[in-house]
Amino acid sequence: MKTVSRVLNKHPYVKPATRQAVENAMDTLGFRPSIAARILAGTNSGQVALIYDNHSPYYIHQIQEGCWSRCHEERVRLLAQPVDVADPGVGEQVRGLIAETHVDGVVLSSPVTDCVPVLEALEQTKIPFVRISPGTNRSLTSSVFMDDVQAADDLTTYLINLGHRRIAFIIGHPNHTASNERLFGYRRGLDRAGISYEPQLVAQGLFDFASGVAAEKFFALPNRPTAIFASNDDMAAGVLATAHRYGIAVPREVSVAGFDDTTLAQVVWPPLTTVRQPTGNWPTRRPTCC
């Protein structure tokens, strides 16, 4: 039994052959460790929680898929818990989740990564946690993030190099730090090319498909933009739908670009030009379309 226990708890001093034999036997017998028994014994529960609040279903699905894939490799159970960062009781909700499930660690997805009540709750419970795309105090914990400013700058520059000079932009949800960073990158790309920033070519969005209706504002302009850069794929897909409704051909009359490179970018027509933000275990970069 000690050998089995060591294998379950990933003890480093188990011979590889022995570990493989025990794991094969567990698979054959359909053995599943009891979480309640492990907690009573004072060992880890073998569970990790992903806590998120995101208006992009495609993005968060791929975050969940990436987390689940890694947990599966380690024989760890993943619990996915949505929260509302605007809820005054969100900190207590997180405390309750930890107390009831006894998870061994927590993964926070943006914008929960910068939610002060959640961060305070986790620090008080002294549970290990990591953050995806934190916008503040990145030294607080381990985290993974990309340079949203440079990425938005790169895509804006890409559109400029295609010949576009009137490029509209849809900002993401105000709760996400990345929204302002992508706006800054867009403005920086324009500025470096000597193109004036025009407030009338910018609209507020919420990172959801419905935000694509903001394109109506751009299409109503006497001198409408030749390209629209939405700061995530869901909003870009909404722009495509709005263009189709107005009878505006994409990309002949207007180019549309997104951000994240979710699966949505490949199933809409035409496929979106988009910034690749790795969110799962994808071995190679998927191609994008102009």
pLDDT of residue 81: 95
Determine how β-strand 227-230 pairs with β-strand 255-260.
Answer: parallel
- pLDDT score, position 137: 78
* End position of a domain, from candidates 85, 114, 144: 144
Supply the pLDDT for residue 78. 95
Which pLDDT score, from 0 to 100, does residue 197 have? Answer: 98
Q: How many independent structural domains does the chain possess?
A: 3
98 shares a domain with 80 = yes
- Computed over every residue of the chain, the mean pLDDT equals 87
Q: Is residue 27 in some structural domain?
A: yes
pLDDT at 36: 46
On whether both 97 and 203 belong to a single domain, the answer is no
Residues 37, 283: Cα–Cα separation, whole Å: 38
Ordered mean pLDDT values, 10 residues apiece, the chain (290 residues): 58 70 69 49 78 89 91 92 95 95 94 95 94 84 91 98 98 94 98 98 97 97 97 97 97 97 93 86 38
pLDDT tens digits along 182-224: 999 999 999 999 999 999 999 999 999 999 999 999 999 999 9
Same domain, 189 and 205: yes
On whether residue 290 sits in a domain, the answer given is: no
60 within a domain of the structure (yes/no): yes
Same domain, residue pair 152 and 272? yes
Residues in the chain: 290
Task: Supply the range of the domain harboring residue 209.
Answer: 148-276
Q: How far apart are CA 225 and CA 168, in angstroms?
A: 6
Among residues 79, 113, 144, which one ends one of the domains?
144
Q: Is residue 244 part of a domain?
A: yes
Question: How is residue 95 written in tokens?
Answer: 């405390």
Q: Verify that 224 and 209 share a domain, yes or no.
A: yes
Q: DSSP per residue over 37-99, as a string?
A: HHHHTTS---EEEEEE--S-HHHHHHHHHHHHHHHHHTT-EEEEEE--TT-TTHHHHHHHHHH
User: Cα separation of 189 and 275, whole Å?
Assistant: 15
Domain assignment present for residue 37? The answer is: no
DSSP, collapsed to helix, strand or coil, labels residue 169 as: strand
CATH, residue 153: 3.40.50.2300
pLDDT score recorded for residue 284: 34
Same domain, 181 and 221: yes
- From residue 52, alpha-carbon distances to 20, 55, 61, 81, 85 in Å are 35, 10, 11, 6, 9
Q: Could you give the 3-state DSSP secondary structure of residue 129?
A: strand
Q: Please indicate, yes or no, whether residues 158 and 269 belong to a single structural domain of this protein.
A: yes
In this structure, is residue 288 part of a structural domain? no
Same domain, 101 and 189: no
**Is 213 found in the same domain as 124?**
no
The pLDDT of residue 45: 81
Considering the domain architecture, whether residues 3 and 24 belong to the same structural domain is answered as: yes
Round to whole Å and give the CA distance between 95 and 228: 42
At 202, which helix (H) or strand (E)? strand 202-204
Classify residue 20 by its DSSP letter. Answer: H
The last residue of one of the domains, among 129, 144, 159, is 144
Same domain, 205 and 161: yes
Q: Is residue 69 part of a domain?
A: yes
In a domain, 122, yes or no: yes
pLDDT value of residue 219: 97
Q: Are residues 260 and 161 in the same domain?
A: yes
